[in-house]
Amino acid sequence: MIEFTKMHGLGNDFIVIDNRDGGLAADYLSGIAPVLCRRHFGIGADGLAVLSSSSQAPFRMQIFNADGSEAEMCGNAIRCLARYVWDRGFIKEQTFAFETAAGIKEINLLIRGREVEAVRVEMGSPILESDKIPLRGPSRRAVDEKIRLGNEELLFTAVSMGNPHCVIFMPALEGVPWQSWGEALEHNPLFPNRTNVEFVEVLSRDRIKVKVWERGAGATLACGTGACAAVVAGVLTGRLGSAVRVDLPGGSLQINWEKDGKVYMEGPAEEVFSGRIETIKLLEEAR
């Protein structure tokens, strides 16, 4: 039996498991993630967010996508875990850090009374060099670079926020087959580690509308790192200012690319319910 908590950030939902004692190995968590995340047959979620111990920070976050692959970073999941540790009294300070596979991330809880109103995360500096994103081909910054998708020729900007993103600006999102395009681009050979894909409509220099195809999860209602990547791409291409409201299907995030070179994300995190689940039975049914 595993105890879990269901949480979401703007509808991007996660199964949260406290594994600070290290009782669940990474390969086991990767194996059960697809079973637990199955809609209708499991708990249902976009991913599995695991709270672990760390020697470098108060906590460590591990994030497994719904297909079982492990992600380097997830903006919505880290906000959920930040609220999780505060609500349970695991941390007393409003400012603290998480270790992630994409480095140490600083957290600032915005508190009213004792309630978490929002979570602000220092997401680090964007990675723009193609060999570090990674992106195949010569070393470069891929900014408004052409990519062919069937009969369509699109322009994309590649950004890593600890995980890879392919950002595509469109005049309007209505009528765009973004889900089929997103799935195709996720597996495009140009991206050796696959990629998240953001389709962006610019509403003004300080506001955009974004739809996200997440690597390993598919269409989701929100993506924190994707919102950051979209703003970075907008600044690089001259479409946006450095402080932008990002409207996603599940709600809005405030993203600032500040003068220190780092990107800051601010948004909510909500707990839905908690429970216990027998994983052995689910694994047998999945087979």
- Pairwise CA distance, residues 119 & 94, whole Å: 10
Across the chain, what does the average pLDDT equal? 96
Beta carbons within 10 angstroms of residue 38's beta carbon: 16
pLDDT > 90: percent of the chain: 94
Backbone angles phi, psi at 106, to 5 degrees: -85, 135
Task: Answer yes or no: do 176 and 110 share one domain.
Answer: no
* CA 286 to the chain's CA centroid: 26
* Residue 261 φ then ψ, to 5°: 90, -5
For the ranges 40-54, 96-110, 152-166, 270-284, the lowest mean pLDDT is seen at 270-284
Same domain, 136 and 164: yes
Q: Residues 21, 69: one domain?
A: yes
Whether 13 and 115 map to the same domain: the answer is: yes
What are the start-end ranges of the H helices in the chain?
A: 26-37, 75-87, 178-186, 224-236, 279-286
- Compute the distance between CA of residue 3 and CA of residue 151 in angstroms, rounded to an integer: 48
Same domain, 147 and 224: yes
The verdict on whether 223 is a catalytic residue reads yes
Angle at 137 (CA atoms; ends 183, 181), nearest 5 degrees: 15
Q: Which domain holds residue 203?
A: 130-261
Give the 3-state secondary structure of residue 236.
helix
- 287 confidence band (pLDDT: 50, 70, 90): low
Q: Do 120 and 174 have their domain in common?
A: no
Question: Both 180 and 257 in a single domain?
Answer: yes
Q: By C-alpha distance, which of 98, 87, 108 is closest to 62?
A: 98
Looking at the fold, whether 90 and 142 belong to one and the same domain comes out as no
CATH code: domain of residue 177: 3.10.310.10
37, 166, 223, 228: the catalytic one is 223
pTM above 0.85, yes or no: yes
The answer for residues whose C-beta is within 8 angstroms of residue 179's C-beta and 6 or more apart is 213, 218, 219
Q: Which amino acid is at 286?
A: A
Query: What pLDDT, in 10s, does the model give residues 19-35?
Result: 999 999 999 999 999 99
Query: How many domains are there within the chain?
Result: 2
Is residue 51 domain-shared with residue 159, that is, in the same domain?
Answer: no
Give yes or no: residues 104 and 23 share one domain: yes
Among candidate residues 37, 74, 166, 228, the one labeled active-site is: 74
Same domain for 120 and 7, yes or no, is: yes
- Are 237 and 169 in a shared domain? yes
